[in-house]
Amino acid sequence: MTQAQDASIDLARFEMSGGQTFQHHQHDEHQLAWARSGVLMVDIQSRCWVLPPHLALWIPTGLRHATGALRESVLVGLYLDPVRCPLAWDTPTVLTVTTLARHLIEYLAGELTPEARIHAEAVLLEVLRPAPGAVFELPLPTDPRARELAALLLDDPADPRGLDEFARAVGSSARTLLRLFLAETGMTFNQWRVHARLQASLGHLAEGAPVARVAARVGYATPSAFVAAFRRVTGQTPASYFASQADTA
Q: Which stretches does DSSP call E strand in the chain?
A: 9-16, 21-25, 30-37, 40-44, 47-51, 55-59, 65-69, 73-80, 93-96, 129-130, 137-139
Helix, strand or coil, per DSSP, at residue 95? strand
**Helix or strand (DSSP H, E) at 227:** helix 223-234
What does each of the 249 residues of the chain score in pLDDT, given as a tens digit? 333 345 589 999 999 998 899 999 999 999 999 999 988 989 998 899 988 888 999 999 999 999 999 888 999 999 999 988 888 899 999 999 999 999 999 999 999 999 999 999 999 999 999 987 667 788 999 999 999 999 899 889 999 999 999 999 999 999 999 999 999 999 999 999 999 999 889 888 877 899 999 999 999 999 999 999 999 988 889 988 877 665 555
How many CA atoms lie less than 13 Å away from 136 in the CB half-sphere?
27
Give dist(CA 120, CA 129) in Å, integer. 16
Name residue 31's beta-bridge partners: 59, 79
Determine the pLDDT at residue 242.
Answer: 75
The partner residues of 35 in beta bridges, in order of sequence, read: 75
Report the candidate in 197, 215, 203, 205 with the shortest Cα–Cα distance to residue 243. Answer: 205
Domains of the chain listed by start with CATH number = 4-130 (2.60.120.810), 140-247 (1.10.10.60)
What pTM did the predictor assign?
0.80
Contact indicator for 52, 42 with CB cutoff of 8 Å: no
**Alpha carbon separation from 118 to 69, 72, 84 (Å, rounded):** 31, 32, 12
The C-alpha atoms of residue 236 and residue 230 are separated, in whole angstroms, by 7
